[in-house]
Amino acid sequence: MKLSTLRKPLQNDKGGILIIALLMLIILTLLGIAATDTTNVEIQVAANDKIYKEAFYNADSGVFYAVAKGSILVPSHGAAPSFTQVNPPDLPSNVTLYYRDVTAGPPRQIEVRSVGTAQGGGTASIVAGIEFVTSGKQQGPGNLSSY
């Protein structure tokens, strides 16, 4: 058997490179589609996280507002089982405050519920306890502590 007859079928490989190139293009296209889908999901997760954080910080600012205002913000009604909404004029519109007296005192203890909202439909709620410590005759922002 001649060596040239064994090589003859191997000389007809002109279309092999085309098939390999097409397979590589298919693989790269699939990788690009997967990367695009992953990027879109990550963008949605980041947007949701931003909305949640904005709502949480708005609710947190409501708690700080209630602590700063003290008993001026929440009149005493005695211990109550449900929350009462309070609407001070200088409170931002994306924060809603509720309070309820836990004990009439002394020392007076209240729970403040602050609900913060964010654009995009995010809502966060924080419940905090405040205890008013009476020193002298005035209860004000400087005479309270949180529990």
Using one digit for the tens of pLDDT, what is the confidence trace for 55-64? 999 999 999 9
CB atoms within 10 A of CB 89: 4
Tokens of 58: 């708005």
Structural domain range at position 33? 3-146
Q: Which residues of the chain have pLDDT under 50?
A: 138-140, 142-147
Contact 42, 106 (CB under 8 A): no
- State the pLDDT at residue 3: 56
- State the pLDDT at residue 14: 73
Q: Which amino acid is at 117?
A: T
pTM of this structure: 0.66
Contact 116, 59 (CB under 8 A): yes
Using one digit for the tens of pLDDT, what is the confidence trace for 70-81? 777 777 666 677
- State the pLDDT at residue 147: 45
Number of domains in the chain: 1
